[in-house]
């Protein structure tokens, strides 16, 4: 094994270790801890679970009808009403807020990770290539 190969393997291991450390640090963030607590509260709430099931049923019915070309405005309105009712439950509202907070924090961290890189994958998200 050459010195270059050894250095590359060590560098890759170091990067993997840094990624692992970053993941562990993220797991300790207050936003992540709040997310876990809110998720647990939603899972423990019978009211939230009932509303989630009702919303999922309405969503599936709407999607099935849409695929068949038979979806109506009433179907859409029913699904939206179920979603609104779900979001009005205090534990669900709290969950959605802390989920958003975590997402914003992770986006900020992602920007810090990508800052020194000269690669912008955002241009490629649309499927077009820039030659």
The pLDDT, as a whole number, for residue 81 is 95
Q: What is the pLDDT along the chain (131 residues), one digit of tens a residue?
A: 455 566 566 677 799 999 999 999 999 999 999 999 999 999 999 999 999 999 999 999 999 999 999 999 999 999 999 999 999 999 999 999 999 999 999 999 999 988 888 776 666 655 555 55
Instruction: Specify the pLDDT at position 5.
Output: 60
* DSSP 8-state class, residue 29: S
DSSP secondary structure of 68-121: TT---HHHHHHHHHHHHHHHHSHHHHHHHHHHHHHHHHHHHHHHHHHTT----G
> What are the φ and ψ backbone dihedral angles of 125, each rounded to 5 degrees?
-60, -30
What is the pLDDT, as a whole number, of residue 12? 73
- Residue 53 has a pLDDT of 96
CB-based contact 69:113 (threshold 8 Å): no
Distance in angstroms (rounded) separating the CA atoms of residues 79 and 85: 10
Place of tokens 């590359």: 8
Name the token pair of 66.
């849409």
d(CA 100, CA 112): 19
What residue spans define the domains of the chain? 30-45+89-113, 51-84
């Amino acid at each position: 094994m050459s010195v270059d190969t050894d250095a590359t393997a060590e560098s890759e291991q170091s990067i993997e270790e840094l990624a692992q450390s970053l993941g562990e640090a993220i797991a300790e963030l207050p936003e992540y801890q709040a997310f876990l607590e809110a998720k647990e509260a939603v899972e423990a709430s019978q009211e939230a679970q009932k509303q989630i099931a009702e919303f999922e049923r309405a969503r599936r019915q709407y999607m099935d009808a849409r695929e068949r070309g038979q979806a109506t405005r009433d179907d859409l309105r029913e699904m939206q009403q179920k979603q609104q009712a779900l979001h009005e439950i205090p534990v669900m509202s709290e969950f959605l807020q802390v989920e958003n907070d975590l997402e914003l924090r992770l986006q900020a961290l992602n920007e810090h990770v990508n800052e020194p890189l000269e690669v912008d994958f955002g241009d490629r998200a649309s499927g077009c290539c820039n030659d």
